[in-house]
Amino acid sequence: MGALRERDQIELQYKWSTEALFATNEAWEEEFQAVRKQVEDDPFASLRGHLGDGAGVLLRYFEVSKVLGERLGKLQIYAHILADQDTRQSLYQAMQSKVQMLSAEFAQKDSFFEPELLALPQEQLDRYVQSEELNAYRHLLDNLIRNKPHVLSDETEAALASLHDVLGTAGQVFSQLTNADFQHGAFTVDGTEYVVTEGRLGLLLRNSNRMVRQLAYEHVYDTYLHHKNAIGALYANSVKADVRLARVRNFATARQMALFANHIPEAVYDALIKGVRENISYQHRYVELRRRILALDHVRLYDKYVPLAQANLDDYSFEKGFSLVQEGLRALGDEYQEILKKAIDERWIDVFETPGKRSGAYSTGFYATRPYVLLNYQGNYDSVSTLAHELGHSVHTYLAGKTQLPHYSHYSIFLAEIASTVNETLLVNHLLDITEDPLARATLINQQLDNLGSTIYRQTMFAEFELDAHRAVEEGHALTHDSLSEMYSRLNTFYHGPAYAEDERSTAEWSRIPHFYRAYYVYQYATGMSAALVFADRIRKEGSSAAEKYLGFLRSGSKDYPLAVLQEAGLDMTDPSVITQALSIYGQLVDELEQLLTAVNP
């Protein structure tokens, strides 16, 4: 690959339109100073202590919060995308730091609102919810007021706030250990030296040479096992903190507390596990297919990610890739196509990698700005799929912002990945529709199966592990590295089936997962992927009627609780049949991949 072009060598149409936010950095600074003065003057001074004086005071609070929130949001987005387009520029980093500090000051001035509101008598809160004057905020108020049983005395809340950093210590120490302190060494195979790092492990595990995969795996896992007692103690303390905080806040379990924020009943979590367990045979068949194609006695953890088929899918200019995304998403209708065109015409997308640019990809923005998409486009199929993914987020943000009132224009993490995954699924389905070459089809399906499996099956296994670990502590049992590994090994064996074999290292895989320090989070990846598969399948089979229901979901934002938004679009996530529908699609892909690999390798 050649040297990267500097940013000033990139054509304008491939760079996002920062000028749509502020014409110049000087204009941003002028607005920053104006907003800072308003924040320092305390915009809530006349409202603090008066939320019980009537609906008019509450309405005034919402209006002040909205206006300043919009202005701060624009300042944040501008500084954020400039800082990411060139991380070497100290000016941009300083701008981002300044606005972060200003936002923190605004949040501190605003922190009175929820405690003061929830301290009001329930009868008065009920009157506010039913008030015509506050009708536009009814759901928002309902969502706030349901926290009342879990908000403690001022003294207790202050004590918990002061302990916030301490309660997160286990995760912070884990991150420092694994990202800063752990060294995994190097090894040589056939004259080639391989330096092992956490970031390179994924690539090494895709190497076609099994010895390379095995040695990379052993180097990483031996490091973790060398520190097994420390990591076991860290995670045990993280779980104990979750359980104790839940009890202090009057929740029956840590899971109930974690799911409460998005108003998700525990039945959704249980339905996910039930649906996946009842359809585990598809995963077992895929692991057996992997064992057979790779000619192994058993699949080991380090064999799970090596591709079973590899066609060349690297010939996509940005224009060709964008056109492919448009074609793949045509079933979503004319309005969706018009928004995609707007993304190009209004320069939402920063396309190419340049020196100093942040790696990866994301979509940002909110109702008061256009969406902004960061890419590092490489011209391969992964880049095209990433483009479709991020545009899914962007269109979701755009439609919700265009349709809903500002305070309902965002959407919860429980729903966030659905729009992006629907786009990825429609794209790969379109590619399969127009691809006849068996090797190319096998490559696409192999990638799709690995993506689906790592999201639905793997994240559900993680969700079960979290549940088992927390229940053990809630029932009075101690957690150790050995007990956690035994717990994890039982799940690993069940989820992968008879073609898979455990070893001491793979039983400790749990010890490498940073998400476990954010309790009961990962299940949302599996529910989101399952919902997206069902939406995409319905759109392909039912056409415009299903597409319109799905667009209704995108327009809904947070006007209602996440489950209600999905139910309105035709999905009941408390019913395991949604998971069953999603995994039946996975099973069909396993069938086709087996046929294709047999044709390619008779």
7-151: what CATH class? mainly alpha
Is-contact 591 288, C-beta < 8 A?
A: no
Examine the pLDDT at 1 and tell me if it is beyond 60. Answer: no
Quick one: pLDDT at residue 166? 79
At residue 165, does pLDDT exceed 80? Answer: no
The CATH superfamily assigned to 166-182+227-311+437-602 is Oligoendopeptidase f, C-terminal domain (1.10.1370.20)
The pLDDT of residue 154 is 76
pLDDT at res. 314: 84
CB atoms within 10 A of CB 131: 17
Which of 183, 109, 253, 225 shows the shortest CA–CA distance to 507? 225
Burial profile 191-204: b = 16 or more Cβ within 10 angstroms, e = fewer:
eeebebbeeebeeb
Q: Give the pLDDT score at 153.
A: 82
Write down the pLDDT at residue 376. 95
Residue 115 near residue 154 (C-beta atoms within 8 A): yes
**Residues with Cβ within 8 Å of residue 459, at least 6 apart in sequence:** 522, 523, 525, 526, 529
If one compares 466 and 164, the residue with the highest pLDDT of the two is 466
Q: What is the mean pLDDT of the chain?
A: 95
pLDDT (tens digit, 9 = 90+) per residue, 88-101?
A: 999 999 999 999 99
pLDDT at site 2: 59
Q: Mean pLDDT over residues 322-348, rounded? A: 98
Which residues in 475-507 are b (16+ Cβ under 10 Å) and which e?
eeeebebeebbebbbebbeebbbebbbbeebbb
Has residue 311 got a pLDDT over 90? yes
Backbone angles phi and psi of 93, in degrees to 5: -65, -40
Predicted pLDDT of residue 410: 96
**Per-residue pLDDT, 180:** 84
Catalytic residue numbers read: 390
pLDDT value for 183: 93
Name the more confident of 194 and 198.
194
Cα–Cα nearest to 462, from 484, 478, 479: 484
pLDDT (0 to 100) of residue 303: 98
Confidence check: pLDDT of 6 > 80 = yes
Q: pLDDT tens digit string along 212-238?
A: 999 999 999 999 999 999 999 999 999
CA distance 333 to 551: 9
Mean pLDDT check: name the lowest of 120-134, 168-182, 552-566: 168-182
Q: What pLDDT, on a 0 to 100 scale, did the predictor assign at position 485?
A: 98
3-state class of 346 per DSSP? coil
Q: Please check the confidence at residue 83 and state whether its pLDDT lies above 60.
A: yes
Q: What is the pLDDT of residue 598?
A: 87
pLDDT digits 0-9 by tens, 401-449: 999 999 999 999 899 999 999 999 999 999 999 999 999 999 999 999 9
Domain boundaries, the chain: 7-151, 166-182+227-311+437-602, 313-412
Structure confidence at residue 602 (pLDDT)? 64
Bridge-partner residues for 500, per DSSP? Answer: 299
- What angle, 0 to 180 degrees and rounded to 10, lies between the N-to-C axes of helices 228-248 and 169-176? 160
pLDDT score recorded for residue 332: 98
